[in-house]
Amino acid sequence: RPAFDPRDPLGIDAEFTPEQLAIRDSVRALCRDHVQPHVAEWFERGEFPQARELARELGKLGVLGMHLDGYGCAGLSAVDYGIACEELEACDSGLRSLVSVQGSLAMFAIWRWGSEEHKQHWLPQMAAGEEIGCFGLTEPDHGSDPASMRTVARRDGADWVLNGRKMWITNGTVASIAVVWAQTDQGVRGFVVPTDTPGFSAPEIKHKLSLRASVTSELVLDDVRLPADAVLPEVTGLRGPLSCLNEARYGIVWGAVGAARSCLEAALDYATTREQFGRPIGGFQLTQGKLADMAVRVQNGRLLALHLGKRKDAGQLIPQQVSFGKLDNVRGALEVARTARTILGANGISLEYPVIRHMTNLESVLTYEGTSEMHALTIGQALTGLSAFRG
């Protein structure tokens, strides 16, 4: 009989192929060599100074747009991509955000809805990490309700002219290409905007207390003039951006498990070495109860992620199921992080340990890519047939 493995108590690793375990190990090694030694310091400084270098390393590993086919992308499975997301976010949610926004939002938008020219021009460079992309949907006054966005694109002869503001845009300041969604007289359309276009700027948002090792920006579009072929030709309406969000949310389902796993490992390590009242704190029943609940939460999250991944690979995954995973796995990861923090006592609030960093990062993860409330409403609507989005 196999022995109980605290890192894999349910034996889920046996579900993965040797190739998938190799993906896990190579992403883990990249995190260990390039990010782990620096991430607490970056977080403390509120900077992500090596975003461009890291993008190239991630590109070499084939992680950027890894579940897309052709155009220099690795063409791997949804489960493969999920395994990579778990490892990236076990390191830091900011690192996973870089990869999610690049692959699942910016690249996916071009891959799914772009012209052949867009794909040939942008995707190989983005897959290699030579060009970084961002995805501008949210605005200062329109987050959960993007249908009300105010950014507009109007025709001027053959050109498009964009005006508006986007807010909370990951990678914005380091991006060389922005996929921007705007109202047109035909409905919402997506635009491929090189960030050196006159009238475009992306000031970085400061004073965040979450995802501090991640670039988050405002996008300012001031009479940004684009050629006729800048529009993503294959989609009109919110279906375009929502299809991309669905891709990125799927990665978060796995990523959240990684953050939770890292917190559990830190708590377990601490509980077996820290002594109070003459014995390791892991020997106290209250601590064991916490550790057992955390382990159950992490493994349930991984099983759910794997289940959704298999459905995605079979072409069976629907958005309501992604909502299910995003809602429960991020909420669960936050619970695990908060419990781990208590086990570490005062050390739980120190950046010497990963727990408080994951805990505050997960507050962003709970909000972006659809808040937990939006996913609850999506599931509620699917259960009842009644939409509660407008009250």
Mind telling me the catalytic residues? 369
Task: Select from 267-275, 339-347, 352-360, 363-371 the region that touches ligand FAD (CB under 6 A).
Answer: 363-371
Which one of 27, 39, 211, 305 is in contact with ligand FAD (CB under 6 A)? 211
- How many Å apart are CA 188 and CA 236, to the nearest integer? 6
- 296-315 positions binding ligand FAD, by CB under 6 A: none
Q: Which residues contact 67 (CB under 8 A, 6 or more apart)?
A: 73, 74, 75, 76, 77, 78, 80, 81, 103
Q: Which is nearer to ligand FAD, 121 or 208 (CB)?
A: 208
- How many Å apart are CA 143 and CA 13, to the nearest integer? 38
Q: Is residue 318 a contact point for ligand FAD (CB under 6 A)? A: no
Q: Which is nearer to ligand FAD, 64 or 101 (CB)?
A: 101
| Nearest residue to the partner ligand FAD, using Cβ | 143
State in angstroms the smallest separation of the CB of 342 from ligand FAD: 25
Which one of 62, 291, 374, 378 is in contact with ligand FAD (CB under 6 A)? 374
State in angstroms the smallest separation of the CB of 107 from ligand FAD: 13
- How many Å apart are CA 123 and CA 113, to the nearest integer? 12
Which one of 78, 83, 101, 179 is in contact with ligand FAD (CB under 6 A)? 101
CB 183 within 8 A of CB 149: yes
Helix, strand or coil, per DSSP, at residue 297:
helix
Among the residues of the chain, which ranges form H helices?
18-30, 36-45, 51-61, 78-91, 93-100, 108-113, 116-127, 239-273, 285-313, 319-343, 355-367, 372-384
Place of tokens 């708590």: 267
Q: Which is nearer to ligand FAD, 184 or 347 (CB)?
A: 184
Q: Rg of the chain over CA atoms, in angstroms? A: 21
Q: Is residue 177 a contact point for ligand FAD (CB under 6 A)? A: no
Q: Is residue 389 a contact point for ligand FAD (CB under 6 A)? A: yes
State in angstroms the smallest separation of the CB of 304 from ligand FAD: 22
Dihedral sign, Cα of residue 144, residue 356, residue 134, residue 61: negative
Residues found near ligand FAD in the complex (CB under 6 A): 101, 135-138, 143-144, 168-170, 211, 216, 364, 367-368, 371, 373-374, 377, 389
